[in-house]
Amino acid sequence: EDGGLIVSFGEMLIDFVPTVSGVSLAEAPGFLKAPGGAPANVAIAVSRLGGKSAFVGKLGDDEFGHMLAGILKENGVCGEGINFDKGARTALAFVTLKADGDREFMFYRNPSADMLLTPDELNLELIRSAKVFHYGSISLIVEPCRSAHLKAMEVAKDAGALLSYDPNLRLPLWPSPEEAREQIMSIWDKAEVIKVSDNELEFLTGCEKIDDEAAMSLWHPNLKLLLVTLGDKGCNYYTKNFHGTVGAFAVKAVDTTGAGDSFVGALLTKIVDDHSVLEDEGKLKELLRYACACGAITTTKKGAIPALPTVSEVHGFLKE
């Protein structure tokens, strides 16, 4: 079967993760290099799950940038939409693992190459060939990547792609919470599929109670599917005609990084060739069970990209 192309737009970076937790960045005895960036994770998730995948974004023309481009390529993700900036360097995140399991980030982005993608540099031919165009990153924050983001969305939409959005709110990256909310809401009514986490729902609505009413307050007329991910409680889904919950799989989670991206990758891989799932609750629930399985598997291994499952892993997991 010849699947339609899923294009993911946004940033890709390297997380430097300390080899021990509970110490400051300066005291860490060593770091592991973990490639990440939500849109890039989604691009790889799609490809591992058998979908046709491309990534659009900008990397530094440095060792890290070429390493990341290599990782996309190894994973079967089309790199024709990748630009390399001659001056700025690849984005980096330095992680502190706190004793309570929380993570703190320090970013190298002043500016990093991903922020310098211009509208003129976009590979429009590639974007026009997308059947699904997925975005969800901090590329809304500053120019010129903000204009590139808006143009890419428009071009994909005009060419008939289904637009999929995951705000991926990482508040420390935004100038202020107000600006984050404003910028996210400025593109809210363009997407036909939106995935938010329960925390993002709380942030965007200002509601403390994460219920159907809070979710539906974010509904807009172009929307076909709204998903609220709930970690080990699964996800809630909302369409124009029905809504409900799909429970999570019980697993021993060791690192939840990338679970949401794995979930989205699975969802898009299934939707790209069959939009009827958006109107058929039975089909949608089956799809979301698959997506929850992908999310669950991803939590059982360390890191995001190394933990993204292949089709056969998911089938094995679902048979157990």
Residues forming contacts to ligand ADP in the complex (CB under 6 A) are 197, 229-232, 234-235, 248-249, 251, 253, 256, 259-260, 263, 292, 295-296, 299
Q: Nearest approach, Cβ of 262 to ligand ADP (angstroms)? A: 7
Shortest reach from residue 170's CB to ligand ADP, in Å: 11
Residue of 261, 273, 274, 280 marked active site: 261
Q: Which is nearer to ligand ADP, 232 or 279 (CB)?
A: 232
> Nearest 5°: phi and psi at 170?
-120, 90
Phi-psi category of residue 269: left, alpha or beta, with phi > 0 → left and psi -120 to 50 → alpha: alpha
- Whichever of 84 and 317 has its CB closer to ligand ADP, that residue is 317
Please return the burial class of 201, using the count of CB atoms within 10 Å of its CB with bins 0-12, 13-18 and 19+: buried
| Six-digit token string for 39 | 């849109």
Closer residue to ligand ADP (CB): 185 or 254:
254
| Least distance from ligand ADP to the Cβ atom of residue 129, Å | 28
Pairwise CA distance, residues 66 & 181, whole Å: 33
On the CB side of 83, CA atoms within 13 Å amount to 26
Select 17 or 88, whichever has its Cβ closest to ligand ADP: 17
**Chain position whose Cβ is nearest to ligand ADP:** 295
| CA distances for 59 relative to 10, 37, 92, 309, 311, angstroms | 10, 12, 11, 25, 29
Token couple for 95: 């992680």
261 a catalytic residue: yes
Minimum separation from the CB atom of position 151 to ligand ADP (A): 27
- Where in the sequence numbering do the catalytic residues fall? 261
